[in-house]
């Protein structure tokens, strides 16, 4: 499957707990007024990559790399391919964090198979809605047992 990629980071400690790979996708339809990464909004300008190539790159980082983080752009705009990547990584013992500008309620109410597929492979105990100055900026973050990611969200999106 093909993914429209903004940036791939093989190892990072700032996009979630522990050492993680990060897939930042190109394209976001949400357009938050205070977005810190407007360069990811357009579908044009990304790099089209094969999802299995990314899976292979991430697995080569084991055992130091413990998981993958999806961010954007908007990961749920490419939910099918990201769900496929996540399934393959989880099969190999890695965890999955997904940042999204949508609310969980919205994603669930849409009843879209692609949204449901990505939700089902995202480690998800914790939903965080961040509202700043009347602007819904970010929204969700998932990862079991890592509630300090709230802090990372704030740093990431509030600068
Ligand atoms: S959802 Fe994220 S990437 Fe999209 S506009 Fe909002 S802050 Fe920017």
27 CB within 6 A, ligand 1: no
Query: Which atom belonging to ligand 1 lies closest to the Cα atom of 102?
Result: 1
DSSP state of 44: T
Put simply, whether the predicted model's pTM sits higher than 0.95 gets the answer: no
- With a 6 Å cutoff on the Cβ, whether 32 touches ligand 1 is yes
Q: CA end-to-end span of the chain, whole Å?
A: 33
d(CA 4, CA 43): 8
2-158 folds as: TIM Barrel (3.20.20)
For the record, the structure tokens of 67 come out as 């998981």
The ligand 1 atom at the shortest distance from the C-alpha of residue 99 is 2
Task: Give, for 25, the enclosing helix (H) or strand (E).
Answer: strand 20-25
Cα–Cα distance between 118 and 96 in angstroms, integer?
Answer: 10
Per-residue pLDDT at 137 exceeds 50:
no
Q: Parse the chain into domains and list their residue ranges.
A: 2-158
pLDDT of residue 147: 38
pLDDT in tens, 71-93: 989 999 999 999 999 999 999 99
Looking at per-residue pLDDT, the higher value among 135 and 9 belongs to 9
């Amino acid at each position: 499957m093909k993914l429209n990629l903004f940036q791939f980071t093989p190892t990072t400690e700032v996009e979630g707990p522990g050492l993680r790979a990060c897939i930042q996708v190109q394209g976001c339809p949400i357009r938050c007024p205070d977005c810190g990464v407007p360069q990811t909004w357009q579908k044009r300008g990304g790099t089209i990559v094969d999802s299995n190539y990314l899976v292979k790159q991430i697995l080569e980082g084991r055992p130091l790399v413990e998981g993958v983080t999806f961010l954007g752009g908007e990961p749920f705009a490419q939910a099918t391919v990201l769900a496929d990547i996540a399934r393959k990584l989880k099969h190999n013992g890695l965890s999955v964090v997904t940042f999204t500008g949508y609310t969980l309620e919205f994603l669930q109410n849409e009843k879209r198979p692609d949204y449901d597929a990505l939700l089902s492979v995202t480690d998800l105990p914790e939903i965080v809605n961040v509202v700043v100055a009347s602007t819904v900026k970010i929204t969700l973050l998932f990862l079991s047992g890592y509630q300090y990611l709230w802090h990372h969200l704030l740093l990431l999106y509030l600068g």
